[in-house]
Amino acid sequence: MKAISKTPIVWLFLIAAIIVIPLVSGSYVIGVMCFVAVLGALGVGMGVLMEQAGIFSLAHPTWFGLGAYVSGILAVQGATPPWLGSILGAVFVAILSVIIGAPLLRLRGYYLACATFGLLLVVEISLAQLGSLTGGHEGLMGIPPLSMFGFTFETDLHYYYLSWGLCLACLWFLHNLMGSRVGRAVKAFSDSEVAASSMGINVPAFKLKIFVLTAVMASLAGSLYTFYLRFTQPGIFGFPLLVELMTMLIIGGGRTLYGPLLGSFVVLWLREFIHTYLGKLLPRMTAEVDAIFFGILIIVILIFMPGGLAGWVDKLLGLNRRALGRASD
Amino acid sequence: MEGLQTDNLLLDVRGLSKHFGGIKAVEDVTFGIIKGSIISMIGPNGAGKSTFINVVSGLYTPDTGKVQFEGEDVAGLPAHAMASKRLSRTFQLEELFSSLTVLENVMVGCHTCSSSGVLSCGFSVPFARKEEKRLQAEAMECLREVGLEERAYDTISQLPLGERKLVGIARALAMKPKLLMLDEPAGGLAAHEVERLVQLIYALREQGLTIFIVEHNMPFVMSLSERIVVLDEGKKIAEGIPDQVRSNERVIKAYLGEEVA
C-alpha cells in the first residue's frame, strides 16, 4: 500500500479537491459530499476488515448505529457535551465489540457472516423497542448540533470539513497501518492462518484488534452522522445500509484502500443523477429503477472489473504489487 | 535417547502421541535433538512425520507425552507461543503469503523480533518507522543469505518452486531461530536446486544453528544428517547415524515391504 513516490501527490490532490469543491459549488453538492465522506469513512474500515483481513463481518452498520445512538442519547439528555458523547460512544462500541468479537471471531466465512448479520438485526430491533431511551421506531429527536471549545458546527459547510477530516484521518491511519508490521500480520493471516501463527502471530488477538479498530472508526462516523442530521432512527442502521456498503465495496473495490471511498462517491452521485433525471421521466418508479440500475451495475463490475474501479485504475496506472513493494523503502 | 547427555538437548521429546479418532498418527515417540546438530526424520508416506512436526511446532496439541525445549515444558502451547521461543519451521507446501511480496513475506518472519502495535503503526510514530527500517534491513539480510535478494520485490506467484522453498527458509531464519525445522525442503526440487539447498543447510549449520529435517529424498538425508530417526506407522522403528539406519532390517522392511532382501 505504500506507493511513496506517488502517494504525496495523490494526497495533495485529494485535499486540494476537498478544499476547492465548496468554493465552486452550492449547498446541494456540499450536502451530498458530506454523505460521501461519512459513508466513505465507514466503507474504508469495512474494506480493510473484509477484503484485506478476510473477516467477513456484516455488523459494520451496527457499530455505526450504536455510535450514533450513544452520542445522540447522551446529547439529548444533556448528560455530556456532544464531542465527549462521541468519544464515549466510541468507547462503548470498543468494549462491546471486544465482548462480541472475542467469541464470534472464532467463526469463519459464512458462519461469521450469519452470526454478525444476527447481531445487526438484534441491535436494530432493540433500538426500536427501547422506546423510552431511543425514541423507538419514530427515532431520536432534538439532538443538538456538535459543539467543541465554544465553536458550534451548524452549517453544512462545517460538517463538510468535519466529515472529510474524519474520513481522511481514517484513510491515513489505515494507510499507515496496512503498510506496517500490523498490516503485514493481518494480510498474512488472511492468506494462511497456519503459517501466520507459526511465525509468532497471535491470530485471534490480531483479528480482534482489527475488528475493534474498524468498529471504533464506524462509531465515530456514526456520531458525526447523527449530529449532522440531528436525528436518528433504527431503520437507518439495518439491512439497507449494509447493502449500500456492499455496493460501495464492490463498485469501488475493497482490496484497495481508497476503493470504498471511490465507491461511496460513485454510488451516491449516480443515485443523485438517477433521482434527478429519471425522477422526471418515471416519477412513480424511481426506487425500482434505482435498485435495477445498481443491480445491473454490480453484475457488470463483477464480470469486467473484479477488483472494482480502484483495482481497474491501479491496473491502468501500472501500480502493480511489484511497484508498491519497491516503493516501500 | 540412551547414551545422549540430556543437558545438551535443545529439544527433548518423550512418549509423544497424537491420535485422530482411531488413527494413531504418532505413537509413543521419544528422541532428542542435540544443540548444533543436523538431525533428520524419515519414513514412508503416512508414517506420521508431518503430524510430528505439527505437534512440536504447536499446530496440534499432543494427546500424551512431553516436549521440552531448552529444558522448558512446551507441550500443548499454541503455535505463536512456540514461535516466540525461537522454534521456527517451514512447510511442505510452502504456505507463503501470496498477497505479500517476497521481502514482506520474510518481514512477517521478523514479527517476534518487533513490537510496534496498532496505534504506533497507525499514527506512524518515529519508533514504528525506525523499527520498519530495521525489519527491512534484517529481512533483506535473510534473503541475501539464501541468495534471493534480487527477487525481493517480486510476488510469490512469480517464483519457481525451488525459490519458494528458499523464501520459506528465509522467512524462518528471520525469526532468529534456535531450532529450524524443515518440512520436506527438497520435495519437488531439481537436482541443482537440491545441491543449492545442501550448501545452504551446511552454511547455516556452520553458524551454529540446530536443524531438524523431515524428508523423503534419501540421498539428500543420508548426505546431510548426523543422526536419523525412522518413523513407520507413527512409531519410531530406528535411530542412529546414517550407516546404521541404512543397514537396519526394520527400516528396509518398512521401505521395501515384507520381503527382506
A3: its cell numbers: 506507493
Q: Please indicate whether, in this complex, the C-beta atoms of A197 and B78 are within 8 angstroms of each other.
A: yes
Q: CB of A62 within 8 A of CB of A119?
A: yes
Q: Please indicate whether, in this complex, the C-beta atoms of B95 and A199 are within 8 angstroms of each other.
A: no
- Chain A residue with Cα closest to B168: A195
- Chain A residue with Cα closest to B151: A322
Chain A hits for B118, CB-CB cut-off 8 Å, are 177, 182, 209-210, 213
**Pairing, β B227-232 against β B38-42:** parallel
At residue B157, what are phi and psi to the nearest 5 degrees?
-65, -15
Q: Residue A297, Cα to own-chain centre: how many angstroms?
A: 21
Q: Order of strands, edge to edge, in the sheet holding B64-69?
A: B23-34, B9-20, B64-69, B72-73
Identify the DSSP state of A144: P
- Chain B residue with Cα closest to A188: B97
pLDDT at residue number B5: 56
CATH code, B1-86+177-261: 3.40.50.300
d(CA B14, CA B6): 12
Q: CB of A202 within 8 A of CB of A73?
A: no
Which are the contacts of A73, defined by CB distance < 8 A and separation ≥ 6?
A133, A134, A140
What is the interface pTM, i.e. ipTM, of the complex?
Answer: 0.90
**Pairing, β B227-232 against β B235-240:** antiparallel
Q: Residue A218, Cα to own-chain centre: how many angstroms?
A: 6
Which are the contacts of A10, defined by CB distance < 8 A and separation ≥ 6?
none
Give the count of Cβ contacts less than 8 A between chain A and B.
121
Write out chain A's pLDDT in tens, 329 residues.
444 456 778 888 889 999 999 999 888 999 999 999 999 999 999 999 999 999 999 999 999 999 999 999 999 998 899 999 999 999 999 999 999 999 999 998 899 999 999 999 999 999 999 888 888 888 888 888 888 887 888 888 999 999 999 999 999 999 999 999 999 999 999 999 999 999 999 999 999 999 999 999 999 999 999 999 998 999 889 999 999 999 999 999 988 899 999 999 999 999 998 888 877 777 777 777 888 889 999 999 999 998 899 888 888 876 554 444 444 43
d(CA A214, CA A183): 13
The model's pTM is 0.91
Regions of chain B where pLDDT drops below 50: 1-3, 260-261
Which are the contacts of B171, defined by CB distance < 8 A and separation ≥ 6?
A199, B90, B96, B105, B106, B108, B109, B142
B31: its cell numbers: 528422541
Pick A184's closest partner by Cβ from B78, B79, B100: B100
Q: Please indicate whether, in this complex, the C-beta atoms of B108 and A184 are within 8 angstroms of each other.
A: yes
Q: Does A5 touch chain B (CB under 8 A)?
A: no
pLDDT at residue number B201: 94
Mutate to test the interface with B, among A7, A176, A199, A214 (most CBs of B within 10 A): A199
Report pLDDT digits (tens) over B138-191: 999 999 999 999 999 999 999 999 999 999 999 999 999 999 999 999 988 888
Q: Could you give the residue range(s) of every CATH 3.40.50.300 domain in chain B? A: 1-86+177-261
At residue B188, what are phi and psi to the nearest 5 degrees?
80, 10
- Chain A residue with Cα closest to B53: A198
Q: Please indicate whether, in this complex, the C-beta atoms of A176 and B122 are within 8 angstroms of each other.
A: yes
Q: Please indicate whether, in this complex, the C-beta atoms of A191 and B155 are within 8 angstroms of each other.
A: no
Burial of A277 (0-12, 13-18, 19+ CB in 10 A): exposed
Which are the contacts of A161, defined by CB distance < 8 A and separation ≥ 6?
none
Q: Please indicate whether, in this complex, the C-beta atoms of B118 and A177 are within 8 angstroms of each other.
A: yes
Strands (E), A13-166: 147-148, 151-152
- Chain A residue with Cα closest to B170: A199
Spatial CA neighbour of A211 closest among A121, A106, A84: A106
The SS3 assignment for B39 reads: strand
**Pairing, β B72-73 against β B64-69:** antiparallel
Identify the DSSP state of A232: B
| Residue with grid cell 504456505, as numbered in its chain | B95
Q: Please indicate whether, in this complex, the C-beta atoms of B108 and A182 are within 8 angstroms of each other.
A: no
Q: Please indicate whether, in this complex, the C-beta atoms of B80 and A200 are within 8 angstroms of each other.
A: yes
Q: Please indicate whether, in this complex, the C-beta atoms of A191 and B99 are within 8 angstroms of each other.
A: yes
d(CA B22, CA A21): 69
The SS3 assignment for B101 reads: strand
DSSP characters over B214-245: E-S-HHHHHHH-SEEEEEETTEEEEEESHHHH
Q: CB of B6 within 8 A of CB of B13?
A: no
Angle in degrees, 0-180, between the axes of helices A60-76 and A82-104, rounded to the nearest 10: 150
Q: Please indicate whether, in this complex, the C-beta atoms of A177 and B103 are within 8 angstroms of each other.
A: no
Domain boundaries defined on chain A:
7-238
Task: Give residues 175 to 194 of B whose Cβ lies within 8 Å of A.
Answer: 175
Which are the contacts of B94, defined by CB distance < 8 A and separation ≥ 6?
B164, B165, B167, B168
Report pLDDT digits (tens) over A8-55: 788 888 899 999 999 998 889 999 999 999 999 999 999 999 999 999
pLDDT at residue number B247: 87
